[in-house]
């Protein structure tokens, strides 16, 4: 042995939240080496309608990724992963954006996760009492994808629905953008689209709610190749995506996760040995992950399916392979805290102090690779 240290390996994680995109650079030990964030645009053309742009989101992903890899050897980057909110991205058959709005603005081609336009559609879906609903606590949320898809068919038939070639969950759109692979992640499809990791799509459900279109084309528009989260996609980064992200072509890209589930996986799978925590030595099924952002999500896993009215799941292998996931929570809790904090008279002064302190710490702690 020469005694020389092996070159460090680096990994890039990109997290797309409701209001911004974040990127982190970590090494093989999981040590955080660099972080960057970038705001993303939101539109609210009318009450309960919340929209974004997939082009704007991808551009922000490129900005933050370039920032976190500055100054390192790109050959030492071993992998890239995306997580994102479970928003709905609509593209035509040539993968171009389609409008999800009455104004016909194709730049706004994302119905955000928190959009509540499809209230009447979700009521009709829940009235069917179809068996797939038992896997979402018995009642589907208006924030899931089936009611949004039905709304598009009923309200934007000519400008959107008839022209659509691909409906992506936002995390899957990002992995497609990076690799050109249209395969979907089990995480998104199981949690938000009624897909079963064991049985696949249920034809009778889509026919019953009036979306038999998907059955007819073998689910090509919403995903008929489904992979476990973390699976390496295709040949990795395409040359075009690599150039835009500031990385090298061929870097492995993982099948994606919903943002909360990426956090849940980190908490439930964390190595807690030697920290004196009560969960040390206990099975992972005894852990509860609480993921806080715009909303709060409580997540737990089990070896066998547990059906709880009003609690999402059980979802098989959607977060931790081989385990069933249940999740509950409170919508917009983080946003409400923001509202309280930002509405306080002392907020501007404290914000200025925090910003100054942040710049001071970043200057002092900027790592040298």
Q: What are the pLDDT digits (tens) for 190-218?
A: 999 999 999 999 999 999 999 999 999 99
**Residue 45: which pLDDT band, with cuts at 50, 70 and 90?**
very high
Structure tokens at 131: 């068996």
* Bridge partners for 324 per DSSP: 302, 316
Report the pLDDT value the prediction gives residue 252, as an integer from 0 to 100.
Answer: 98
Burial label for 87, CB within 10 Å (0-12, 13-18, 19+), is buried
Burial label for 150, CB within 10 Å (0-12, 13-18, 19+), is buried
**Residue 343 CA neighbour count, 13 Å, CB half:** 6
* Bridge partners for 337 per DSSP: none
CB atoms near residue 332 (< 10 Å): 14
Contact 318, 190 (CB under 8 A): yes
Q: What are the pLDDT digits (tens) for 61-111?
A: 999 999 999 999 999 999 999 999 999 999 999 999 999 999 999 999 999
Q: Of 3 and 208, which is predicted with more confidence?
A: 208
Domain boundaries along the sequence of the chain: 10-276
Structure tokens at 171: 């995390």
**Residue 272: which pLDDT band, with cuts at 50, 70 and 90?**
confident
How far is 291 from 226, CA to CA, in rounded Å?
25
pTM: 0.91
Q: Which CATH superfamily is domain 10-276 in?
A: ATPase, nucleotide binding domain (3.30.420.40)
Q: Tokens 């992963």: give the residue.
A: 81
How far is 128 from 138, CA to CA, in rounded Å?
11
């Amino acid at each position: 042995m020469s005694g020389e240290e092996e070159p460090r390996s680096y990994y890039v994680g990109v997290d797309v939240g409701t209001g911004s995109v974040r990127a982190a650079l970590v090494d093989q030990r999981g040590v955080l080496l660099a972080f960057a964030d970038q705001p993303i645009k939101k539109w609210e053309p009318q009450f309960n309608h919340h929209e974004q742009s997939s082009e704007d989101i991808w551009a922000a992903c490129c900005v933050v990724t370039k920032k976190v890899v500055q100054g390192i050897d790109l050959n030492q980057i071993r992998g890239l992963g995306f997580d994102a909110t479970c928003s709905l991205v609509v593209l035509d058959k040539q993968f171009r954006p389609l409008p999800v709005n009455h104004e016909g603005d194709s730049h706004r081609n994302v119905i955000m996760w928190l959009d509540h336009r499809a209230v009447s559609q979700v009521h009709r879906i829940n009235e069917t009492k179809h068996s797939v609903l038992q896997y979402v606590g018995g009642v589907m949320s208006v924030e899931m994808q089936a009611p949004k898809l039905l709304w598009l068919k009923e309200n934007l038939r000519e400008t959107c629905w008839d022209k659509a070639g691909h409906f992506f969950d936002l995390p899957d759109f990002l992995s497609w953008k990076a690799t050109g692979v249209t395969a979907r992640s089990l995480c998104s499809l199981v949690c938000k689209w009624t897909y079963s990791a064991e049985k696949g799509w249920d034809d009778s459900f889509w026919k019953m709610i009036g979306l038999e279109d998907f059955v007819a084309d073998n689910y090509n528009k919403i995903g008929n190749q489904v992979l476990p989260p973390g699976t390496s996609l295709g040949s990795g980064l395409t040359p075009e995506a690599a150039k835009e992200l500031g990385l090298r072509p061929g870097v492995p890209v993982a099948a994606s996760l919903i943002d909360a589930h990426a956090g849940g996986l980190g908490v439930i799978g964390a190595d807690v040995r030697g920290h004196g925590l009560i969960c040390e030595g206990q099975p992972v099924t005894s852990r509860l992950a609480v993921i806080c952002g715009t909303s709060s999500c409580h997540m737990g896993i089990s070896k066998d399916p547990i059906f709880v009215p009003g609690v999402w799941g059980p979802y098989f292998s959607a977060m931790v392979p081989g385990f069933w996931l249940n999740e509950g929570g409170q919508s917009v809790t983080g946003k409400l805290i923001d509202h309280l904090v930002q509405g306080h008279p002392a907020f501007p002064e404290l914000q200025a102090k925090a910003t100054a302190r942040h710049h001071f710490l970043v200057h002092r702690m900027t790592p040298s690779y």
